[in-house]
Amino acid sequence: MLFPRERLLELEERLAPYAQKAKDTRGRAHPEPESPYRTPYQKDRDRILHTTAFRRLEYKTQVFPNWAGDYYRTRLTHTLEVVQVSRSIARALGLNEDLTEAIALSHDLGHPPFGHTGEQVLDRLMQGHGGFEHNAQALRILTHLEERYPGFRGLNLTHEVLEGIATHETRYAPGFKPLYEGQGTLEAQVVDLSDAIAYAAHDLDDGLRSGLLAPGELAEVPLLQDLAREEGLDLERLGELGRRILVRQLLGYLITEATLATHRRAEEAGVESAEAVRHHPKRLAALSPGAEKAHRELKAFLMERLYHHPEVLRERRKAETVLVELFRTYTQNPRLLPKGVQSRLEEEGVERAVCDYLAGMTDRYALEAYRKLFP
């Protein structure tokens, strides 16, 4: 039995009334024929997967730099975990999983090398030249920098996928205002929430695996104490299996609380369409009050004990030196840039062209470029 695009669109009628259905898409900037066997959001997802920017995520820092070991999360594995969490929540809520997945796959494409340190450094270097923010850079990649089609620049994605990136709320830049008005679709909100859930769980896992977090320290977080007690785990003597059980239970708890709380808020709001979700005064995707409090406590613990650990700060200092020196050298000596980047200098301006070049680098490529300039 074949399921052509028309049949797939009919099946979406079974989704929740507040889901964003593909038949209701606001379309693409450049009209083009649709696929016979894929919905518009499936087509977007596939385009994102094949981008150069997506492949580069494999060698971009999450918390630990790529050279720290093979077992720690990278920006790519973080993205895949966000996909898993967001699809789990979306399915339970009757949302559009294809749209949810497309947004999740693309939400971190704009991240530069060296994680949030790289973002902060580039933003500082670009003051007076438009600044730098990874959501805006993701949109720039998808609408301008990726060149794969003869008739237009970018990937020509649907409005809803681009909207999902533009309304993403970043926890690391609290002053940043979303690039679109409104709350975004519930699918986009679920991705945003899933991002926070995923990194809290996997950063805890990586912190324990690395030895930067001692198991005994976890007793300071009430939620971890409760989960350990339920599973009969001794936090003072938490082995490898115990760590995996604890992280799995944490992830399960947060996903369940997010699903139930979001469903409850949507019901109470009485939203009957994706447009009603966009114009609701508040975001509907959220944790329950108790889970939100527990999540904040866990994030505060990770901020103090992991993200500000001396070893992590030392690597951040190295990253800052690399990016600052590369930016200074390339802006002062543009002829050192690859020919493809040089060709964009007049159109983009030296600073923006250099910023795009640095933001697209992986950790190891940036380090190699630094070594070549400063042996």
Residues 239 and 318 in one domain: no
pLDDT for 173: 42
Report the distance separating Cα 55 and Cα 52, nearest Å: 5
| Domain assignment present for 106 | yes
CB atoms within 10 A of CB 326: 23
pLDDT at 64 over 90: no
DSSP state, residue 13: G
pLDDT for 66: 60
Residues 100 and 165 in one domain: yes
| Domain assignment present for 366 | yes
| Domain assignment present for 2 | no
Residues 180 and 258 in one domain: yes
Q: How many domains does the chain have?
A: 2
Residue pair 63/312 in contact (Cβ under 8 Å)? The answer is: yes
Phi, psi of 175 (to 5 degrees): -85, -10
pLDDT for 63: 75
pLDDT for 72: 77
Residues 340 and 226 in one domain: no
- State the average pLDDT over residues 231-257: 95
Percent residues over pLDDT 70 in the chain: 94
Q: Residue 226 carries which side chain, given as an amino acid letter?
A: D
pLDDT for 171: 46
Residue pair 280/271 in contact (Cβ under 8 Å)? The answer is: yes
Half-sphere exposure of 34 (CA within 13 A, CB side): 18
Q: Please name the residues in contact with 213: beta carbons below 8 A apart, sequence gap of 6 or more.
A: 204, 207, 305, 306
pLDDT digit string, tens, across residues 194-230 = 999 999 999 999 999 989 999 999 999 999 999 999 9
Give the CATH number, domain containing residue 142: 1.10.3210.10
| Domain assignment present for 318 | yes
Q: Residue 236 carries which side chain, given as an amino acid letter?
A: E
- State the average pLDDT over residues 94-118: 96
| Domain assignment present for 231 | yes
Mean pLDDT of the chain: 93
pLDDT for 179: 55
End position of a domain, from candidates 280, 313, 346: 313
Report the distance separating Cα 83 and Cα 77, nearest Å: 10
- State the average pLDDT over residues 310-328: 93
Residues 125 and 260 in one domain: yes
- State the average pLDDT over residues 131-147: 95
Residues 267 and 339 in one domain: no
Residues 272 and 131 in one domain: yes
Residue entry with tokens 């949109």 = 139
pLDDT for 65: 62
Residues 336 and 248 in one domain: no
Residue pair 298/224 in contact (Cβ under 8 Å)? The answer is: yes
Residues 46 and 81 in one domain: yes
Helix (H, G, I), strand (E, B) or coil at 106: helix
Residues 237 and 277 in one domain: yes
pLDDT for 176: 43
Residues 65 and 46 in one domain: yes
- State the average pLDDT over residues 333-351: 96
Residues 232 and 344 in one domain: no
Domain that holds residue 59: 39-313
Report the distance separating Cα 321 and Cα 120, nearest Å: 13
End position of a domain, from candidates 294, 313, 332: 313
pLDDT for 47: 97
Residue pair 58/76 in contact (Cβ under 8 Å)? The answer is: yes
pTM summary value: 0.94
| Domain assignment present for 34 | no
End position of a domain, from candidates 266, 295, 313: 313
